Structure formats: structure tokens, C-alpha cells
Chain A
Amino acid sequence: MQKQDKIFLASLGVTALLLVGIMAENIRSVLLPPGTADKIDVTKVKAAITQAGIIPYGAKYWKVIENKQPKD
């Protein structure tokens, strides 16, 4: 097998892996129950707010609708 054939096969393998990854992600998002959101990194969110110099202020007109146990 020549060198360029090996490079071609290796690139084909990487491409196939990427495609499988993308398809798996798509299937996962379709199979998730409606309304399921990806977990938000709250620490990052808070850091971005602080970095922007914003001080959160208690809002009016809201209610708690569910208390959730953290999922590990």
C-alpha cells in the first residue's frame, strides 16, 4: 500500500467517525423527551454575568413551580 493510500484511508476513517458522532448527537436530541434542556453550567453563567459588571436584582412576578433534587 502506497503512502497516499494510507493517508486517504486514515482521512476516510476520521470522516466516518465524525459522521457517526454527528448522527449519534442528532438521534439523541430526537429521542430526548420534549422540553429536556441540556444542563447549564451555572457557575459559568454566573461568572459571565459578574465579568460583565452586572449585579442581578430580585425580580417581581414569578413563582416556584417545581423543586428538583440535583442529579448527581
Chain B
Amino acid sequence: MSAVVECVLCAKHCRLEEGQRGDCRVRINLDGKLQTLVYANPCAVHIDPIEKKPLYHVLPATTAFSIATAGCNLHCKYCQNWQISQRPAEETENYDLPPEKVIASAIENGCRSVTYTYSEPVVFFEYMLDTAKLAKASGLLNVFRTAAYIEQAPLLELCPFIDAASVDLKGMTEKFYQEMCGGTLAPVLDALKIMKENGVWIEITNLIVPTANDREEDIRPLYQWVRDTLGPDVPLHFSRFWPQHQLKNLPPTPEEILTRAREMAIAAGLHYVYVGNIPEHDGNNTYCPNDHRLLVRRIGYSVLENNIVAGKCKSCGTPVPGIW
């Protein structure tokens, strides 16, 4: 007797016969049970500035102990980490790093947070969850860097241990998600709402890809949804596309499109809108939404000036939301 199993971790609900693996490549039906092939087997381990995630409202100028395994449940044509995200665990070079070692290494290296990142932490859910529990108990923050393509039940189990999430909202149409990413939009929007309701600090990143999602009518629904559903204090990062993976034929996003997107979102009422992947752009900085003074000056991932004191604007006292 062999069992067909259904993975219900993400919206794909892969049905797997004996020996088959899911769309993520790292969850497999072995002996009638679903097994993960990436528990405690990260293929990427780095110490990054937290600004790289990007998270601009979480412990500025600190470092995040960052881990990732092989696999992803989406297949974005522009993936920047396709060498690990689109490969099974057998084809990546992996470390033996159980949760206890992650925490010890993070503390030893002076990191304030552990970030589950690079590929897609949803596919290494069990490893992330166990590590996050230990990190929380050790006083470290947990950061979820994700496309948020996850079902409600696992997300609800994870939320109590996650402090901040940097979420890719890739577009605002089902067509974009289906054609560009091999997924669907609705579960992502649901996951964002769940995280917000459960007290996870969220920052959203939208990669603007020339000819794919760079028109004003593509960008407008996105910031309107963020403003109306999550609130104007949720930071939104418009990020520059760089030719990668299957979209090497496209040019990098013109700076003026990113600048325009930021201006439109601010004019629509969002308080914190950033431009990413263009160092020295004014959109790298944080400004007070009340007196418009400079709060945090950044170049790339470096913080050069910080005028937030005890979570407030140093000059006018307006609270600045985030984890400070």
C-alpha cells in the first residue's frame, strides 16, 4: 500500500505519489509521508545589514544572521537567487546547521536578528519555525523575508515568533502572478492581512519590471491596496529590476519610473515610500511625515544619520512606527 499525500503548506496543494516531490522541489512523499529535504541544511548563510532585506524600520544599522535553503514555491522569471531557489537540495552545497547552531552563530557574531531569506523560507517552514522559537527565547528578532505564498494555518502558527516581515508584493493582478511567477495573487494578499492582524511588522517591496508592471495603472492599485488594507504607515519599497535569470533581455528599470512611483504613493497618502537598488537616491532616506525633516539618511545599506530617538522624530516628536 502506498499513500498519495497532499501538501497543504502553500496554495499549490501539490498531490504527490510515492517518490514525487512538490513544486518547491524540496518536499517529497517518502513511504507515504511528506518529508522535507532541507531541515537544518541551509545552502546560504550570511551576515547582512538589515537594510538589505529591505527593512528600514527595524533596528537600523544592525546585522541579521541570514539563512536560506534550496527551493521555492514560486518560479519568478526575474529571480535574483535562481541558482538556489530553482534547484533541489541535492544540487546545492549545504551546511549542517541545526537551529541551536544558528542561534549560537548569530549571537557569537553580534547579530540582533535571524533572517529567513534569499530563496523562500515558506519551503523550509519546519526549520524556520524551530529556529524562530529558539531565537525568540534568546532575545533575537526573527525576520521573515518572503513572497508570502503560504496557507493560513501554517502562517498563524508562525506569526507569534516572527517580529518583522519583508514581503514581496510582485504585482496586483492574477495574470502577473500566473505568467511571471507561477503562482496566484489572492493567497499573498490574504497572508499580508493575517500578518498585519497578528502584529507582525510588515514592509512591502515591489520590484518594478520594465514592460511587465511598470505602468502607472500597474503601480496605482498596489499602493492603494497597501494604504486602504494595511494602513499608510506600512513602508513600501519600489525596487529596481536588474536583468536576471530568464529576463536578461529587459533593461534595468529607469530611475524616473521608480521616482514617479514613489511620488504617486506619497501623494496618495502613504507615509514611508522608498526606492531600492539605486544608491544615493533620495528615496533611500526616511523623512518625517509631519515636519518632512530627514529622519534616517542612507546610502545603499549604510545608515549615515539617524534622527529617530526612542521611536520618535527628534525635531517634532511624531512617532515613527517600527521596531527601534
Residue ranges of A at the interface with B (Cβ–Cβ < 8 Å): 37, 40-42, 45-46, 48-49, 51-70
Query: Top 4 nearest A-B pairs by Cβ distance?
Result: A57-B39, A40-B19, A56-B35, A62-B34
Q: Which of B4, B5, B32, B37 contacts A56 (CB 8 A)?
A: B37
Contact A52 B9 (CB under 8 A): no
A48 partner residues in chain B, CB cutoff 8 A: 90
The 8 A CB mask of B1-34 against A (1 = contact, 0 = none) is 1111111110000010111100000011010111
Q: Which residues of B in the span 27-78 have a Cβ within 8 Å of any Cβ on A?
A: 27-28, 30, 32-37, 39-41
- Report how many residues on chain B are interfacial, defined by Cβ distance under 8 Å: 35
Tell me if B90 and A54 are in contact (CB < 8 A): yes
From B6, B40, B41, give the contact of A63 (CB < 8 A): B6
Other than the given A57-B126, A61-B154, A62-B33, 8 more pairs (CB < 8 A) read A57-B35, A57-B37, A57-B39, A58-B34, A58-B126, A60-B126, A67-B4, A69-B1
Q: Are B94 and A54 in contact (CB under 8 A)?
A: yes
**Docked pose: A40 CA to B3 CA in angstroms:** 14
Whether the Cβ atoms of A59 and B1 lie closer than 8 Å is no
Contact among B3, B15, B129, B154 for A68, CB-based, below 8 A: B3
Chain B, interface SS category: mixed
- Chain A: CB-nearest residue to B33: A58
Complex Cα distance, B35 from A65, in Å, reads 16
Select the residue from A42, A46, A61, A66 with max chain B CB neighbours within 10 A.
A61
User: When the two chains form their complex, are residues A70 and B17 in contact, meaning their CB atoms are under 8 A apart?
Assistant: no
Q: Are A61 and B20 in contact (CB under 8 A)?
A: no
Contact present for A65 and B8 (CB under 8 Å): no
Report yes or no: B8 in contact with A63, Cβ–Cβ below 8 A.
Answer: yes
Q: Which residues of A contact B3 (CB under 8 A)?
A: 64, 66-68
Instruction: Determine the distance from Cα of A24 to Cα of B94 in the docked complex, in whole angstroms.
Output: 42
Tell yes or no: B304 within 8 A of A by CB: no
In the complex, B267 has a CB within 8 A of chain A: no
B18 near A42 with CB under 8 A, answer yes
In the assembled complex, the CB of A22 is this many whole angstroms from the nearest CB of chain B, namely 26
Contacts A54-B90, A57-B36, A58-B33; is A65 near B18 (CB within 8 Å)?
Answer: no
Interchain CB contact (< 8 A) of A61 among B8, B30, B35, B89: B8
- Specify which chain A residues have a CB less than 8 angstroms from the CB of B17 in the assembled complex: 37, 40, 68
Q: Identify A67's interface contact among B1, B37, B41, B126, CB under 8 A.
A: B1
* CB pairs A–B below 8 angstroms (9 shown): A56-B36, A59-B7, A59-B36, A60-B129, A60-B154, A62-B9, A67-B3, A67-B4, A67-B32
Alpha-carbon distance between A55 and B19 when the two chains are bound, in angstroms: 15
Q: How far is the CA of A48 from the CA of B21 in the complex (A)?
A: 13
Please determine whether A61 and B41 come into contact, CB atoms closer than 8 angstroms: no
Residues of B near A60 (CB, < 8 A) are 9, 125-126, 129, 154
In B220-239, which residues have CB < 8 Å from any A CB? none
Which residues of B lie under 8 Å from residue A63 when comparing CB positions?
5-6, 8
Query: In the complex, which residue of chain A has the Cβ closest to the Cβ of B8?
Result: A61
